[in-house]
Chain A
Amino acid sequence: EVQLVESGGGLVQPGGSLRLSCAASGFTFRNYAMHWVRQGPGKGLVWVSYIDSEGITTRYADSVKGRFTISRDNAKNTLYVQMNSLRDEDTAVYYCARDGGARAYDIWGQGTMVIVSS
Chain B
Amino acid sequence: DIVMTQSPLSLPVTPGEPASISCRSSQSLLHNNEYNYLDWYLQKPGQSPQLLICLGSNRASGVPDRFSGSGSGTDFTLKISRVEAEDVGVYYCMHSLQTPITFGQGTRLEIK
Complex CA distance for A106 and B63, rounded to whole angstroms: 12
Instruction: Report which A residues bind B (CB closer than 8 A).
Output: 35, 37, 44-47, 50, 59, 61-62, 95, 100, 102-106, 108-111
Q: Interface extent on B, as a size class?
A: 20 to 34
Cβ–Cβ contact B106 & A103, under 8 A? no
Residues of B within 8 A of A46 (CB): 103
**Least distance between A8 CB and chain B CB atoms (Å):** 17
The stretch from B15-23, B43-51, B76-84 touching chain A is: B43-51
Complex CA distance for A100 and B53, rounded to whole angstroms: 12
Cβ–Cβ contact B49 & A105, under 8 A? yes
Does B109 lie at the interface of the complex (its beta carbon under 8 Å from any beta carbon of A)?
no
Complex CA distance for A110 and B105, rounded to whole angstroms: 21
**Least distance between B4 CB and chain A CB atoms (Å):** 10
Least CB separation from B39: chain A residue: A104
Residues of B within 8 A of A104 (CB): 39, 51, 54-55, 60, 96
Cβ–Cβ contact A102 & B99, under 8 A? no
Does B101 lie at the interface of the complex (its beta carbon under 8 Å from any beta carbon of A)?
yes
Cβ–Cβ contact A105 & B99, under 8 A? no
Complex CA distance for A102 and B103, rounded to whole angstroms: 16
Complex CA distance for A46 and B92, rounded to whole angstroms: 11
Residues of A within 8 A of B101 (CB): 35, 47, 50
Does B100 lie at the interface of the complex (its beta carbon under 8 Å from any beta carbon of A)?
yes
Least CB separation from B51: chain A residue: A106
